[in-house]
Amino acid sequence: MIVGVLKETAEHERRVALTPEVSAQLVKQGIEVWTESGAGLESNFPDHEYEESGASIVSDRNKILTGSDILVTIQTPDEEEFKKLKKGAILICLLWALQHPELVKQLRDLEVSALGMDFIPRISRAQNMDVLSSMSSIAGYKAALIAANELDKYLPMMMTAAGTIPPSKSLVLGAGVAGLQAIATLKRLGSVVEAFDIRPEVKEQVESLGAKFVEVELGEEETQTEGGYAKELDQKKQDLQRQAIHEHCKKSDIVVTTALIPGRPAPILIKEEMVKDMSPGSVIVDIASENGGNCELTEHGKTVEKYGVKIVGPNNLPSQLSLHASKLYSKNMYALLNLLLEDGKPNFNFEDEILLKTTVTHQGEIISPMLKNG
């Protein structure tokens, strides 16, 4: 069994799918690991560490594509590349299959078994494979640091001989995995933090981190799906929410936005007129930027200044912490491989909910019910 590891080629992608530590674990189980030369460099894992783990360093990318039984990557390889995989090969990466139906059909027709790391169900048993949580947590942490860096102010209260400086005020919108980590990081840096989420369930988690939960009356209707994700609000409720947030934005030095709704564009929580009312020098870091953004004025991949407010639309935040992001992704990958491999061979046991939901294509069929149910 050969596990291939490619050097990522997508713009802004600095992570690697398998670290030397996990490579050593696989080699110990009798698996051959082929790592493309330089694959780990941007995450500070030089080739010699892979060699020491027992992996082979391969400089010919084609050899890895055509020879691997299991190819592990972060981003989906380009079409010309995944077409080179042998029939029956297994590809494991972030596929974002719901957003790329054509890709799914191609992988099915090529008879590649494709597993989407982003399709791992958010259940307790799959926690050690939950790449969405590992990466969101990094994104939340990094967003708080970017905000602190962009702000022309101290975050903590400072008592100086020249006078006392009050602590900065931060507002975090969306308190899922990323939002909670942003709250924790801003608190550690000494900011006074408020947070809001349409799922009232998270109030307790926000408060346990020492932040204040902003209450918005959204009525009795359920705002959460059975899977624990947020539902899209109707127009009236969105307006109500924005009115409430408007007042809190005015008072905030930092706003970190993280609100997402699966399969939908990110909800607009901050309109232009709300930015206009914010203090000059304040900062918005919009983690939802890749999904359209939570602020109307966000420009993805850029930092822009509008009405004196800096608005950051960051690119691939997990990649900016590439060493730890790679370590966590790789450990999540290892846990999934351990579930998939039995006596060193793949066993697609679809009685197992994790394998069923994560397997996008197998033996010329589309498997995951996440795709079959539309």
**What residues line the site for ligand NAD (CB under 6 A)?**
122-124, 127, 130, 132-133, 136, 173-179, 196-199, 228-230, 233, 241, 258-262, 267, 269
Q: How far is the CB of 334 from ligand NAD (least distance, A)?
A: 17
Catalytic (active site) residue 154: no
Q: By C-beta, is 153 or 246 nearer to ligand NAD?
A: 246
Catalytic (active site) residue 224: no
Q: By C-beta, is 77 or 313 nearer to ligand NAD?
A: 313
- Active-site entry in 127, 208, 243, 363: 127
Catalytic (active site) residue 47: no
Q: By C-beta, is 142 or 199 nearer to ligand NAD?
A: 199
Q: How far is the CB of 228 from ligand NAD (least distance, A)?
A: 3
Q: How far is the CB of 149 from ligand NAD (least distance, A)?
A: 23
Nearest alpha-carbon partner for 233 in 181, 269, 205, 182 = 269
Max intra-chain CA distance, the chain: 72
Q: By C-beta, is 132 or 341 nearer to ligand NAD?
A: 132
Q: How far is the CB of 174 from ligand NAD (least distance, A)?
A: 3
Q: How far is the CB of 121 from ligand NAD (least distance, A)?
A: 8
Q: How would you list the strands of the sheet with 192-196, edge to edge?
A: 212-213, 192-196, 169-173, 254-257, 283-286, 309-312, 303-306
The pairing of strands 303-306 and 283-286 is: unpaired
Q: Which residue is nearest to ligand NAD (CB)?
A: 176
- Active-site entry in 68, 133, 319, 368: 133
Q: How far is the CB of 224 from ligand NAD (least distance, A)?
A: 7
Q: How far apart are CA 349 and CA 293, in angstroms?
A: 38
- Active-site entry in 47, 130, 197, 253: 130
Catalytic (active site) residue 368: no
Q: By C-beta, is 187 or 237 nearer to ligand NAD?
A: 237
Contacts of residue 220, Cβ cutoff 8 Å, sequence gap at least 6 = none
Q: By C-beta, is 219 or 344 nearer to ligand NAD?
A: 219
Catalytic (active site) residue 118: no
- Active-site entry in 37, 229, 307, 352: 229
Catalytic residue numbers? 122, 127, 130, 133, 229
